[in-house]
Structure 1
Amino acid sequence: MNLKFPKYFLELKDHFLTQEKFDLYIDPETELIKTIPQPENLDPYYESEDYLSHDDNQDSFFARCYNFAKGFNLKSKTSLIRKFAQNGSVLDIGAGVGDLVLALKEAQLSATGFEPSEKARTVARNKGVDLYASLNEVEANSFQLISMYHVLEHVPDVEKQKENILQLLKPNGVLILALPNYESFDAKYYNSYWAGYDVPRHLFHFNKKAVKSIFDKEFEIIKMQPMWFDSLYVSILSSKYKKSAFPFLSGIFIGLFSNLKAIFTNEPSSITYVLKKRF
């Protein structure tokens, strides 16, 4: 696929950490959006105690809310993966601190994970979960299911990542992706303040057409479902970035309204896609 990004989409900042400015450009054919420029070394952009997916910090009120939602989501993810794994082995790419891998093991599934962050792997190891540091260590054609929950938007080469997934999955294997949806109400409401863009940590940005365009040749989308808690989390952060007077309350209101609107538009803040390998 020949991806090109000639059309300007939006200017925004890294509201989370550095306040640096970035631009978004869109590929008109697929509607995939790219962050420009993309830093050669992204590690400094993750170096914050507030980056919760790589940390188990429980101190702040927001962290406690995040971890409450994470617990609910873990049950939902485990249930979905159990349904499609068919007792085969599971690989969680971008496993963070290993919570999903641990939950899958506790559910009697054969699960392992890959996580490039040494800090996150250390936290996972302290929980008794050993994660791969490189996909080169993983045997080809060895997994019935691969999960990538809010990971694909972080990778620098989407096409290369897809090829890696195809090599690792067994024939007729299943890929589960969870991605922010820039067509959602909360994305359009907050615009350049929308936390779902999270530049430059999010290198690419997706809607349903982008996912279908990129994966349709090799995969069939067999299920899509909303991640209802994501709109609340993202909207609270977005209200904070926007310097709203009461960011928690306004974020909850916008997040709930976005969920309500998504019932009719089918455009939730985040979408889980279940894709089946065609061969």
Structure 2
Amino acid sequence: MPDRIHYTNCPVCHSASLKPVLNAIDYTVSKESFAVWECQECTLRFTQDVPASAHIGPYYKSEDYISHTNTSRGLINKIYQAVRRRTIRNKRRLIERTTGLSNGHLLDIGCGVGTFLHAMQESGWKVTGLEPDAEARKVAAQLYNLQVQEIDELEKLPAATYDVITLWHVLEHVHQLHDYIEKLKQLLKPGGTLLIAVPNYTSKDAETYGPYWAAYDVPRHLYHFSPASIDRLLAQHAMEVIAHKPMWYDSFYIALLSSKYKNGQSNWIGAAWQGLRSNLKASGEVRRCSSVIYLIRHTAK
């Protein structure tokens, strides 16, 4: 399969100690089944035989892919929109509390239709947004008058420019993982902060739903991170996680989608219970949350 990537070594730690753990279905677009494998060294999971970067575009073509369309169609997406307004406020407060800055230069990679970027700009930040999807960039211009750039512009951005770089559920989509982390490190100002939010397959909701867990989202999600695998990845680039922050709402949204995938329709009461169970499990250990925000800084002097 020349248009597919078959890993014989772990994408994070390069170990050859790999094993298949489950098969997950692409419920959003193709209905294809993809194998998910796990590294026995760093505990990263990854989608095996994933489409190469030049061939993965069609798997994003769905009217229900909300980060690209801003759709409010259907009850789940309406709830998503309402929750997103609250989470954006929380993200802004987290950034300002963590950095001690009320303004500065912020780069948001994979900014979708620009809702978060717009909120930060309204709060006084100088913002730059990158987004691979042309329709999402168009919506950002229409809704917020944001001139979001194509993702290829990442290589042209000036080094040591940004106080904050954010990737909200983006890193799991990036084919060239190590090159990407190194580039982000170069773009940060000295003392700058990188925030990476990704789903966490070690969460209780992932355990509950198994192959139906919606955050596997194959093949768009190339990697399925554990906190240990994030630590291992960043250490190779002289970067360190300084704090973990929970994304409490994600467990409920993911449980709703997961129950739909498993049962053919969303079980609202059951999903609410599973989301609550997941959050209760993570309340004493944020590293078990359904999605985790990693606050990251350089460790190199």
- TM-score bracket, normalised by the shorter chain, equals over 0.9
The answer to whether 1:76 aligns with 2:90 is yes
Secondary structure of residue in 2 paired with 1:31: coil
Offset at residue 16 of structure 1 (A) = 2.2
Aligned equivalent of 2:267: 247
- Local SS of the residue matching 1:264: coil
Normalised by the length of structure 1, the TM-score is 0.95
Aligned to 2:60: 46
Gaps of 5+ in 2: 1-11
Per the alignment, in what secondary structure is the counterpart of residue 284 of structure 2?
helix
Change (3 A) 1:110 1:84: farther
1:245 Cα offset (Å): 6.0
Count of aligned pairs = 279
* Cα distance in 2 between the residues matched to 1:264 and 1:81: 23
The alpha-carbon deviation at position 141 of structure 1 amounts to 1.5
Correspondence 1:64 to 2:78: yes
Tell me if 1:141 matches 2:160.
Answer: yes
2:127 counterpart (98, 111, 132): 111
Larger deviation: 99-108 or 51-60? 51-60
Identity score, percent: 37
Alignment root-mean-square deviation, CA:
1.5
1:120 aligned counterpart, secondary structure = helix
172 and 57 in structure 1: CA distance in 2 versus 1, 3 angstrom threshold: same
Q: Extract unaligned runs of 5+ from structure 1.
A: none
- Aligned-partner SS, 1:242: helix
The amino acid of 1:88's aligned partner reads G
Instruction: Give the counterpart letter for 1:37 in structure 2.
Output: D
How far has the Cα of 1:32 moved from its partner?
1.2
Q: Is the 8 A contact 2:13 2:232 kept in 1?
A: no
Match of 1:257 in 2: 277
Letter in 2 for 1:83: R
Partner of residue 276, structure 1: 297
1:257 CA displacement: 1.4
Q: Which moved more, 1:78-87 or 1:67-76?
A: 78-87
1:226 aligns to what?
246
Query: 1:208-219 maps to which residues of 2 (within 5 A)?
Result: 208-217=227-236, 218-219=238-239
1:136 offset after TM fit, Å?
Answer: 2.4
Paired residue for 2:108, among 92, 107, 123?
A: 92
- State whether structure 2 residue 53 is matched by structure 1 residue 34: no
Q: Once the 2 structures are TM-superposed, how far is the Cα of residue 265 of structure 1 from its aligned partner?
A: 4.4
Of residues 52-61 and 179-188 in structure 1, the stretch that sits farther from structure 2 once superposed is 52-61
Which residue in the other structure is 1:130 paired with? 147
1:122 maps to amino acid: K
Amino acid at match of 1:30: C
Secondary structure in 2 matching 1:192: helix
